[in-house]
Amino acid sequence: MNRIINPTISIILILAVFCGALFIVLRGETSLNRQLTASVFDAGRTFLPECLEDADNTFLSNWNQECEGRGLEEKCSLPKKISDKLKADQKKNRNSCY
């Protein structure tokens, strides 16, 4: 009977060590995933305002170029067809930020 108990105890100990190691590894991966997710989220929070600002600055620059091309001052009134196209481009650029 002694020979039966010893292999059984050995197997139980090996399984316990294996389960413990597996738990530690999985817990570590979960923690790493949380850290990576937080990093990506923080990067997105920083990137979005800059991206939207770039889209708006491009819109304003294009608008003013149209004005200057017509011999007018910046922030002039443009024909509807031109202003609609510039606004559509701005919307497309802003949407690409998301």
Q: Sorting pLDDT into bands at 50, 70 and 90, what band is 18?
A: confident
Tracing tokens 């937080």 back to the chain, one arrives at: 38
Say what the pLDDT of residue 42 is.
65
Mean pLDDT of the chain: 84
The answer, yes or no, to whether residue 92 has pLDDT greater than 80, is yes
The answer, yes or no, to whether residue 2 has pLDDT greater than 70, is no
Q: Worst-scoring range by mean pLDDT, 29-38, 55-64, 71-80?
A: 29-38
Distance CA 71, CA 38 (A): 50
The three-class DSSP label of residue 1 is coil
Contact between 27 and 20 under an 8 Å Cβ cutoff? The reply is no
